Amino acid sequence: MKIGIEGQRLFRKNKHGMDVVALELIRNLQMLDHENEYVVFVHPDEDNTCIPQAPNFKIIELGGGGYPHWEQVLLPRAVRKEGCDILHCTGNTAPIFCTIPTIVTLHDIIYMERFSLFQKAGTWYQRIGNTYRRLVVPTVVKKAMKLVTVSHYEQSNIEAYFGPLDKLSVIHNGVGEHFRKISDTHLLEAVRDKYKLPERFLFCLGNTDPKKNTPNMLRAFALFLQSKGEYRGQDDTYKLVLPDYEENQLMQVLNDMGHPEIREDILVTGYVPNSDMPALLNLCSMFLYPSLRESFGLPILEAMACGAPVITANTSSMPEVAGDAALLVDPSDPVALAGAIGRVLSEEDLKRNLRARGLERAALFSWKSMAEQYLQLYREMLSELSK
């Protein structure tokens, strides 16, 4: 069987959630499957060595045009030329007129819910991308031979929107083996120096996507700074480290919320590559992930695997992923979030229990298991096609 895998964004330097999932799928399939042939279709970009070489894996770079042209025109043409038996599209969308049977990973359908191109939330790039998804995904859902999503929470959302789907499966994401407790103090201090990290800090992955809830997280941090004297053992040395955020974006949010004075307590690092993330998670005093809506929430598990106590939201998929190993709060309530921060920093038993339970929880999720389940679906598709 020859399996095509869409990896349009895999060669870009600054990878994010869906890119990481697709890359880990490919890497683990390379270790698991030496029988089938694979063709990975990517857009040319800087990081063109991120996919390891393997005898049964071929990389095809397709250049030219924006994402819709790449996916709707260049991809199906290349898939036919390579003679693929099936095509796995890894990032929510797929070519509508592709004649090859497809399996689509539908990470979420947030873009189908209460969305408008002219809403103020999010950047224009994000809004245009969501408009494209709204146009394409309903047809993709109908045409795909198999659909996969990443949590039972998201499965219920998809079926509530599109109706019951027998072809829809749930395959959880995994945690990379490099996310672990690090004992090498020289490595940790090198990363601390690289990003100029303070001695003690709270770590939050926030960006301009409205679902990431960064303004409420910043409001909670401001409240924590104002009231931290109420918590045993607090002083002025805790800072907030915020990667993947621009200075002008941060100042606009702080000004809008009326707390520009906390800028001196925030470190904006810029994009942090996946290879450096474990060290930052080992160094932080806690990890904050109060997102409003996630289909999975992989950073929760990555932080747990590194021994960081985690505070996350009590909504969407996050309780499913975190289990009893995180402190769950209402993400729309900055007061509750500020209180949770204070509790974790001041209650040693709570902090210790969150660390221990987090390590156990993260160990339940692996990329190998994810790849094994996808491989089983590929085989099922081939069996159905051969009947």
pLDDT tens, 190-201? 999 999 999 999
Residue 387 burial (C-beta neighbours within 10 Å; 0-12, 13-18, 19+): exposed
Share of the chain above pLDDT 90, in %: 82
Length of the chain: 387
pLDDT above 50 (res 272): yes
Contact 258, 245 (CB under 8 A): no
The lowest-confidence range among 145-159, 248-262, 334-348 is 248-262
Sign of CA dihedral 239, 244, 18, 218: positive
pLDDT above 50 (res 230): no
pLDDT above 70 (res 171): yes
Per-residue confidence band for 99, with pLDDT thresholds at 50, 70 and 90: very high
Residue 347 CB partners (closer than 8 Å, separation 6+): none
DSSP three-state, residue 86: strand
pTM of structure: 0.90
168-206 CB burial, b ≥16 within 10 A, e <16 = bbebbbbbbeebbebeeeeebeebbeebebbeebbbbbb
Q: How crowded is residue 264: how many other Cβ atoms within 10 Å of its Cβ?
A: 8
Residues 207 and 123 in one domain: no
pLDDT above 50 (res 102): yes
Question: What is the predicted pLDDT for the residue at 128?
Answer: 83
Report the chain's mean pLDDT, rounded to a whole number. Answer: 92
Distance CA 151, CA 162 (A): 16
Per-residue confidence band for 83, with pLDDT thresholds at 50, 70 and 90: very high
pLDDT above 90 (res 103): yes
Residue 64 burial (C-beta neighbours within 10 Å; 0-12, 13-18, 19+): exposed
Residues 299 and 342 in one domain: yes
Name the phi and psi angles at 114, rounded to 5: 50, 50
Whether residue 68 is contained in a domain is answered as yes
CATH of residue 339's domain is: 3.40.50.2000
Question: What is the predicted pLDDT for the residue at 80?
Answer: 97
Residues 200 and 317 in one domain: yes
Range of 9's domain?
2-174+366-385
Residues 355 and 267 in one domain: yes
Question: What is the predicted pLDDT for the residue at 215?
Answer: 92
pLDDT above 70 (res 386): yes
Nearest CA to 147 out of 93, 75, 81 is that of: 93
Per-residue confidence band for 123, with pLDDT thresholds at 50, 70 and 90: low
Residues 306 and 370 in one domain: no
Residues 28 and 49 in one domain: yes
Residues 224 and 259 in one domain: yes
Per-residue confidence band for 42, with pLDDT thresholds at 50, 70 and 90: very high
Termini Cα distance of the chain = 15
Q: Which two tokens stand for residue 72?
A: 């709707």
Whether residue 179 is contained in a domain is answered as no
Q: Which residues are 266's β-sheet partners?
A: 240
**What does the angle CA 244 – CA 248 – CA 254 come to, to the nearest 5 degrees?**
95
Residues 30 and 121 in one domain: yes
Question: What is the predicted pLDDT for the residue at 126?
Answer: 72
Contact 180, 282 (CB under 8 A): no
Q: What domain count does the chain have?
A: 2
Distance CA 362, CA 97 (A): 40
